A and B are shown apart, each in its own frame.
Chain A
């Protein structure tokens, strides 16, 4: 295998290939940083460009957009609390409070370190254990998915902040919103009130933009003309360098995040957004200072960024080895492979082994290019904090509205942004956390459809789930996770009382 990866590097290291990798990665970072534009959209938009291209530059460019987009989402999440992509929503939980403390530069640097470690780790996994892991993922049926998504939902308890009840209320509201649209099993309209735009459900991106970005603008608008309150962004202050000691202190969290990202990324249909939240929750659970999470804890940024980039290579594993696209972006990539005459599946490694290993080598290079752009770009990205807040908020608002419109060219999405913006603002006023709402909204359809399939499979007797060792493994993890969350919460309350 080692000589194959060396040959892969020899194949990919040409000027033309490198230029396309650089172009794709840079474009991905820009796309990811624009609210409303996701890595998926970027890959889909650039797909037609690959028709006349050779295989290696074409696939490498698209993978560059994918990885770059995943990192790019964290830039605006940290600087202006506007996650460019759903996967970056967990990053904003601690990234933005860090920016408020004047540590935006440090948070951005730590985000690129974590993204690169996550990306390289998942590349390594892609090369070493792709086929074996993909075989395991293939054993996932509805009960296993149900148990896994339930584990994802326990994250709600972990990111509820001060009040678990309010976190659970936010989660219930998120699940309720996810019910809007066609029933996942029978295709009947639910809670659509006869509105044709609601029949396909609420799109994630407008909900996300409204809940985080518009709510932020509305909250800041409170300060207009109020004596003693100035409408300013959070200026960067103090040393923004990340020392080796700091990097080392977060390295374990990076590896854990990368592992979680890789593992969840392999399973079709779950995606990087969920992996970021699960990793964030795990970092909080295992931290000596869980009370600092949500208030500007660097480990929160590290955990979510290493996990969402850790999922990038992992999502390619079921695609390349089994021909199963795990999410929308890999489904678009499946199209790109087919255009190039490569049919993903078990025979791909036998028939096009050298090309696949060159793509793997390209994947490693993409992460290195992303690291270089990310690190050198920090000082330019951070300039956003020096812009006048009055102008920036005006421009961000319009960008958010247009970005939401562009998701599926529908004005209805702009309305969704406004409604969820107001809801997000009210959430903040009532101290209801937005994170649990989002995670429940993302996982709701998966949870419901797999629960209902499991009920049919076991003829109504859900206790039969104990027959599945994988499902049991996840259910035990759920119990352990809940135990630690409740213990941490009670410890925090004790500390507060004292």
Chain B
């Protein structure tokens, strides 16, 4: 279990780095700064980025105050990684992977084919073992969603 101080320090560091990247690279290169009068389009994003940097810095300081100073010790970091139970993270990655597959499926093979497959895969991933019910639910959900979105609402499902 990650210490609260650790978490805050690393969250703060990542966000602080992101705000620097936004301020010095992304905004100057992706927003045109000139204007005829009034504030330029880059003004508001810049102000928010500065605010984000300041709040991230405060988070780092409060993390250090909460006893997270050892977050910078190599031994503490190693100890932290040794204590992590990898299973929840693997589960999340598996479900997110299936979600990405659904996006690819919708774009390539379309709604009708990819939807029942994905519901079936998600059911199995969630350890549902009654396969007949799972197949029935997959088919039924696809049909109902097709009728609501495709037929009644006239949405051109992929």
- A residues near B (Cβ < 8 Å) are 34, 37, 41, 45, 163, 165-166, 168-169, 172-173, 175-176, 179, 183, 185-186, 188, 190-193, 214, 217-219, 221-226, 231, 388-391, 393-395, 397-399, 401-403, 405-406, 409, 411, 414-415, 418, 421-422, 425, 430-432, 448, 451-452, 455-456
The smallest C-beta distance from A413 to any residue of chain B, in angstroms, reads 10
Q: A45-B153, A399-B145 are in contact. Are A393 and B30 (CB under 8 A)?
A: no
- Expressed in whole angstroms, the Cα–Cα distance for A37 and B153 within the complex equals 10
B74-122 residues with Cβ-Cβ distance < 8 A to A are: 85, 87-89, 91-92, 94-96, 99-100, 102-103, 106-107, 111, 115, 118-119, 122
Q: Are B106 and A421 in contact (CB under 8 A)?
A: no
- Chain A residues with Cβ below 8 Å from B88 are 222-223, 226
- From A41, A224, A390, A418, give the contact of B91 (CB < 8 A): A224
Q: How far is the CB of B145 from chain A (nearest CB, A)?
A: 5
In contact, B45 and A191 (Cβ under 8 angstroms): yes
> Are B103 and A411 neighbours in the complex by a CB distance under 8 Å?
yes
CB-based contact B39/A191 at 8 Å: no
Closest A residue, CB atoms, query B29: A193
**Chain A residues within 8 Å of B58, by CB:** 165
B30 CB contacts on chain A under 8 angstroms: 190-193
Q: How far is the CA of A176 from the CA of B119 in the complex (A)?
A: 34
Contact call B91/A176, Cβ cutoff below 8 A: no
Indicate if the CB atoms of A169 and B15 lie closer than 8 Å. Answer: yes
Name A448's closest neighbour in chain B (CB-CB).
B44
Report whether A455 and B145 are in contact in the complex, using a CB–CB cutoff of 8 Å: no
Give 23 CB contacts A-B under 8 Å.
Answer: A45-B153, A165-B55, A168-B51, A176-B48, A185-B38, A186-B35, A186-B41, A191-B45, A192-B30, A214-B99, A221-B94, A222-B89, A224-B127, A225-B127, A226-B85, A231-B127, A398-B102, A401-B103, A411-B103, A422-B96, A448-B44, A451-B44, A455-B38
Docked Cα-Cα span, A214 to B122, in Å, equals 13
Q: Are A179 and B7 in contact, with the CB atoms below 8 A?
A: no
- Asked if A430 and B11 sit within 8 Å, CB to CB, the answer is yes
Q: How many residues of B contact A (CB 8 A)?
A: 66
In the complex the two chains form, is B45's CB within 8 Å of A190's CB? yes
**Chain A CB within 8 A of B52 CB:** yes
Residues from chain A with a CB closer than 8 A to the CB of B96 are 218, 418, 421-422
A464 to chain B, nearest CB (A): 15
Question: Secondary structure at chain A's binding surface: helix, strand, loop or mixed?
Answer: helix
Question: Min CB distance, A305 to chain B, in Å?
Answer: 25
- Rounded to whole angstroms, the CA-CA distance of A406 and B55 in the bound complex is 37
Q: Which of B107, B111, B137 is the one whose CB lies under 8 Å from A402?
A: B111
Asked whether B128 lies within 8 Å of A391 as measured between CB atoms, the reply is: yes
Q: B113-152 toward A: CB 8 Å interface, digit per residue (1/0)?
A: 0010011001101111000011001000110010011000
